[in-house]
Amino acid sequence: VIPADPPLVAQAARAWRFRCGVEREAEARFARLAGWLARAGLPGPLVELCRRSSADEGRHARLCAELTERHGGEVPAPPVEPPAVLAPAGLPPRAVLLYEAVAACCVTETGSVGVLTALLGAVRGGSLRRALRTLAADEVRHSRLGWAILAAERERGTGALLGEHVPAMLAASIEPDLFRPGVPGPELDAGEDPALLELGVLPRSLRREVFVRTTTEVVLPGLEEGGVDISPARAWLRERLVAPGPGKSE
Ligand SMILES: [Fe+2]
Ligand SMILES: [Fe+2]
């Protein structure tokens, strides 16, 4: 049952629509990554898991499309272009592959698991809870895929090339204004409303909290374990935790 508060429902529709696009992009990204893994000679089970992840994301996109429509939103058009390669230009091919896996799985998928776990703690029942459980179970596997690829590359030392890029990966996994102080406006106010939880959307302050916790407790220790220097990421996060003054954007 969807509450009648139109700004909240519209906010939820936007959130599910956005997720639908993210899932579609992930579907294409995992399909491409599976090919890269196979060509680089990574273990077959990892290639298989990556292909399966792509299929999972296709299902997630359909699920998110349904939820978008249920909230009165319009499903986005399917992407026509392949997703942009995540690594900046100039890295060797092996590091481009690892960058993609670390950014998409270790950072983004682990972040999604954090968000979904928080939502599951708040959404009481019904089809929304079932949808969130499906998403959470799959995203946990996708996150593990990244950690397994990082471990498989440990001996080669490829992870050492990624340390300075982890801040960019973290920044790309959140909305640009997550750490900016709220500015008054109907949209942001709706984005802060705790009633959003019932619609499967984390209010901003909670998203911030979940992101910081997931990053410090799971992502950064895991990356360090995989041979990635996490001091640039720690510095990046520290800067964000110092309450920024109004107007300070970066
Ligand atoms: Fe997904
Ligand atoms: Fe995923």
What band does 246 get if pLDDT is binned at 50, 70 and 90?
A: low
pTM of the model: 0.91
Please report which ligand is nearest the Cα atom of 146: 2
C-alpha span between 52 and 50 (Å, rounded): 5
CB neighbour list of residue 181: distance below 8 Å, 6 or more residues apart: 243, 244, 245, 246
- Inter-residue contact 57 to 30 (CB < 8 Å): yes
Q: How far is the CA of 109 from the centre of ligand 1 (A)?
A: 8
First to last CA, the chain: 40
Residue whose entry in the numeric block shows the structure tokens 């680089």: 40
- Of all ligands present, the nearest one to the C-alpha of 21 is 1
CA angle in degrees (0–180, nearest 5) for 247-216-141: 115
Cα of 26 from ligand 1 centre, angstroms: 7
Cα 245 to middle of ligand 2, angstroms: 35
Residues 192-240: tens digit of each pLDDT: 777 888 888 898 889 999 999 999 999 999 999 999 999 999 999 999 9
Output the CA 248–ligand 1 centroid distance in Å: 33
Total count of residues recorded for the chain: 250
Query: How much distance in Å is there from the Cα of 68 to the middle of ligand 2?
Result: 18
Say which ligand is closest to the CA of 53: 2
What is the percent of the chain with per-residue pLDDT over 90, rounded to a whole number?
Answer: 76
Helix axes 204-214, 110-120, angle to 10 degrees: 130
Between the alpha carbon of residue 34 and those of residues 17, 49, 157, the distances in Å are 26, 8, 21
Cβ(151)–Cβ(227) under 8 Å? no
The CA 201 to ligand 2 mean position distance, Å, reads 17
Distance 248 CA to ligand 2 centre (A): 33
For residue 139, report the distance from its CA to the centre of ligand 1, in Å. 6
pLDDT in tens, 128-143: 999 999 999 999 999 9
Neighbours of 31 (CB within 10 A): 18
Quick one: 124 exposed, middle or buried, by C-beta within 10 A (0-12, 13-18, 19+)?
exposed
> How close is the Cα of 6 to the center of ligand 2, in Å?
30
